[in-house]
Amino acid sequence: MHIPARDQKFTLTIDGLPVEGATTFDVTNPATGQVLAAAPQCSTDQLDEAVAAARTAFPAWAALPVERRRQYLRTMADTIDTHTEMLADLVVQEQGKPRGVARTEVAGLGYWLRATAGITVLDTVNQDDEERRSVTRQVPLGVVAAITPWNYPLGQASFKLGPALLAGNTVVLKPSAFTPLANLKLGEILRDVLPPGVLNVITGTGGLGSRITSHPGFDKISFTGSTPTGRSVMAGAATTMARVTLELGGNDAAIVLPDVHVKQAAAQLFWAAFANTGQICLATKRLYVHADVYDDMARELADLAATVTVGDPGQDEDVELGPVSNLRQYRTVLDLLHDCRDHGYAFLSGGLPDPETAGYFIRPTLVDNPPDSARIVREEQFGPVLPLLKYTDTADAIARANDSEYGLGASVWGTDTEAAHRVAQRLQAGTVWVNESMHLHPHVPFGGHKQSGIGVESGLAGVLAFTNTQTLTVKHTQPQA
């Protein structure tokens, strides 16, 4: 059932209890540009209370048998499943994505929790003889700050909550101030599921994120967001030596080889670039197309761009692409579009929107072969604009794809998968796909090379990232002579 967000009450979750914010801040619906709801602003004192609650809850949570924590994760997933429509409805309203995609995001949170519950961390026996027993094991870190961006408000939480909790940590979750509502409700529905203080959810503007990263009460900052903010997080954590995992920006290249099946690849590449209105860290953001197939690929993509349904997903269930998710990002993407226009780069579809239109809508835009020095090639657009770049020599395409400070994802497209695989091996990125893109799995680690991040999420490595390594050595006592 659809309940407008303005008719709902949102509270922080601290120590298992609902807590009113010290004040409130407005949350905007990007499809209308209108205020959607008031969210609670977490004060400095309330941040301290959330940290204290998590610290108090930590010893008992860490001491539980891991089987018990697995069960908690599964119960969390079951609870989330029973609230799919409510959570998806909030994601649609605050983030602007189509309802079906929002439902999938909520389902993904449950799926990730269940799959993470199945991960086992094994001890390593280093020595076990009459002299000593030496075992290396992984112990929880303590209190984790989970800081997430606005593109997948719940999806981003799924990469952090399961692994952190399974490993025995307690958590303070802070979603983006652009999309706080679904996370606040997540905290609410889990209050009776988890012991008090194990999961705290706080929201706020005005530097709450930087107060978290320099707070002495955190043992780990698990951060997903932009590369510039990632640098601040790392600097903030330096004062406390909190561990950091940084999942940052990307400028993912896709290389289309000359033997590609153009129509099939175009259908996939369109969504690789424009799903979630291009606001995916692993979205294709630069498309290098061999000159032999450039015109055909451009035509196929332009046809798809012209026919896709763009609109307000809160009003129309059939919408395939919603608005850009907030005014700040809308302005960033508009700025890049203006730069393209000012430099005379041709748009094969989309382009600058009508300024009279309400909401932050930009139709999928293809930019025709801008130079490598163009801002739309160098910078992360994180929006529905894709530069098509022509190449004739594969080695040159690889070099151009690698010529970036980013290294998050990449893909290669061609009929000869052996040849495509050889190209993929030469790309500098944390995940490289052949003939697909953005496929993730809870048991497969992903993370960024270069300035796209430090560390990984998901898989066994993603759980280990929430632990300290401890070696316990017992020297056997010799019987008294």
Indicate which residues carry an active-site annotation.
Answer: 247, 281
Quote the least distance from Cβ 231 to ligand NDP, whole Å.
9
Quote the least distance from Cβ 208 to ligand NDP, whole Å.
6
Q: Does 249 bind ligand NDP (CB under 6 A)?
A: yes
Q: Does 40 bind ligand NDP (CB under 6 A)?
A: no
> What gap in Å lies between CA 440 and CA 457, rounded to an integer?
11
In the bound state with ligand NDP, the residue whose beta carbon lies nearer, of 27 and 117, is 27
Count of alpha carbons within 13 angstroms of residue 277, beta-carbon side:
29
Region near ligand NDP per CB under 6 A, out of 16-24, 123-131, 145-153, 465-473: 145-153
Region near ligand NDP per CB under 6 A, out of 2-10, 32-40, 54-62, 149-157: 149-157
Query: Could you tell me how many helices (H) and strands (E) the chain has, helices first?
Result: 15, 24
DSSP-assigned beta bridge partners for residue 127 = 134
The angle that helices 66-81 and 99-117 make with each other, rounded to 10 degrees, is: 160
**Region class of 300: left (phi > 0), else alpha (psi between -120 and 50), else beta:** alpha
Q: Does 30 bind ligand NDP (CB under 6 A)?
A: no
Q: Give, as ranges, the residues between 258 and 317 that touch ligand NDP (CB under 6 A).
A: 281
Q: Does 39 bind ligand NDP (CB under 6 A)?
A: no
> What gap in Å lies between CA 331 and CA 274, rounded to an integer?
18
Contact (Cβ atoms closer than 8 angstroms) between residue 145 and residue 174:
yes
In the list 87, 101, 172, 233, the residue contacting ligand NDP (rule: CB under 6 A) is: 233
Q: Does 248 bind ligand NDP (CB under 6 A)?
A: yes
Which of 478, 471, 465, 475 has its CA nearest to residue 140?
465
Residues in CB range of 399: below 8 A, 6 or more apart? none
In the bound state with ligand NDP, the residue whose beta carbon lies nearer, of 53 and 456, is 456
Contact (Cβ atoms closer than 8 angstroms) between residue 290 and residue 393:
no
Tokens of 28: 């905007």
In the list 11, 99, 380, 458, the residue contacting ligand NDP (rule: CB under 6 A) is: 380
Quote the least distance from Cβ 246 to ligand NDP, whole Å.
8
Q: Does 176 bind ligand NDP (CB under 6 A)?
A: yes
Quote the least distance from Cβ 454 to ligand NDP, whole Å.
11
Q: Does 209 bind ligand NDP (CB under 6 A)?
A: yes
In the bound state with ligand NDP, the residue whose beta carbon lies nearer, of 12 and 257, is 12
Q: How far apart are the first and last CA of the chain?
A: 79
Q: Does 453 bind ligand NDP (CB under 6 A)?
A: yes
In the bound state with ligand NDP, the residue whose beta carbon lies nearer, of 138 and 276, is 276
Quote the least distance from Cβ 226 to ligand NDP, whole Å.
4
In the bound state with ligand NDP, the residue whose beta carbon lies nearer, of 33 and 258, is 33
Quote the least distance from Cβ 469 to ligand NDP, whole Å.
24
> What's the sign of the alpha-carbon dihedral 363, 368, 374, 380?
positive
Show the binding pattern over residues 111-130: x = contacts ligand NDP (CB under 6 A), - = does not: --------------------
> What gap in Å lies between CA 380 and CA 149, rounded to an integer?
15
Residue type, 420: A
> What gap in Å lies between CA 458 and CA 461, rounded to an integer?
7
- Rounded alpha-carbon distances, angstroms, from residue 116 to 92, 147, 205: 26, 19, 31
DSSP-assigned beta bridge partners for residue 174 = 147
Region near ligand NDP per CB under 6 A, out of 29-37, 52-60, 245-253, 284-292: 245-253
Q: Does 429 bind ligand NDP (CB under 6 A)?
A: no
In the bound state with ligand NDP, the residue whose beta carbon lies nearer, of 209 and 414, is 209
Quote the least distance from Cβ 243 to ligand NDP, whole Å.
15
In the list 218, 274, 345, 382, the residue contacting ligand NDP (rule: CB under 6 A) is: 382
Tokens of 217: 């009460």
Q: What number of other Cβ atoms are within 10 A of residue 64's Cβ? A: 15
Could you identify the residue written with the tokens 């998590």? 54
In the list 75, 226, 240, 369, the residue contacting ligand NDP (rule: CB under 6 A) is: 226
Give the residues lining the site for ligand NDP (CB under 6 A): 147-151, 174, 176-178, 205, 209-210, 213, 224-226, 229, 232-233, 247-250, 281, 380, 382, 408, 448, 453
